[in-house]
Amino acid sequence: MAHLPACLNLHLDNVDEKWTRELPILDYAIISTAHWFFRPIYLHEAANVIGCVYCSEPNVTKYDVVDALGMAFKATFKYINNCERCSRKLVTLLRTFSPAHFENGTWNTGGSCNRTSPYDERDIESEANEWKLRNIQVEEIERARKEGKKHGKKFEILDVTRAMLMRPDGHPGAFWGNKWMKGYNDCVHWCLPGPIDVWSDFLMAILAKEVGLNFLY
């Protein structure tokens, strides 16, 4: 397979040591990813390519982003459940999919995010793809939670998807110190006051519950 085009390679049976080496000293780990899956990716097990995302290679199984994301989370949670060196106090939190808000195009076709106020509940009812990504993450952490009971591991959900779907006003848009990609808007990251504060409030509520407190601060 030396002829494969430039892409990301996702090894489902070989977890990156850059973060796993820190797991044994942690009491809490927050796992989050999704947007990096919207690009060509080759999925590997052992020495074999078992599938790909956004590719047209002959004799390679095609997967969509939701499939690949689910496989990645399954592999991550499996590693944590089987981590014998990890603390018995380790709590793994999944931060669910945080949507982008590009309008009138994508990131590289003139898309922008110029809204200055939140959506209401009715405005997010049609966001089916975002819910699919969020739901596969929740499905995998629920699976890990059941398995974790056998290993003394705990898993919790930091579910930000619905709240963030309602905040198209929370991105920097054109105002992001655009040194690398001039002319493009950033409608993915949350760099304005409000959305990230909500994430922190959700996180504090989970941590308070874990230590048996009935108040946040």
* Predicted local distance difference test score (pLDDT) of residue 32: 93
Q: Is the pLDDT of residue 215 over 80?
A: no
What confidence category does residue 4 fall into, taking pLDDT thresholds of 50, 70 and 90? very low
Residue 160 and residue 96 in contact, taking contact as beta carbons nearer than 8 Å: yes
pTM of the model: 0.88
User: Residue ranges per domain, the chain?
Assistant: 25-34+66-210
What confidence category does residue 129 fall into, taking pLDDT thresholds of 50, 70 and 90? confident
DSSP state of 114: -
pLDDT for 135-169, tens place per residue? 999 999 999 999 999 888 999 999 999 999 999 99
Tell me the mean pLDDT in the region 49-74. 93
Length of the chain: 217
Q: Which of 59, 133, 74 is nearest to 50 (CA)?
A: 59
First to last CA, the chain: 55
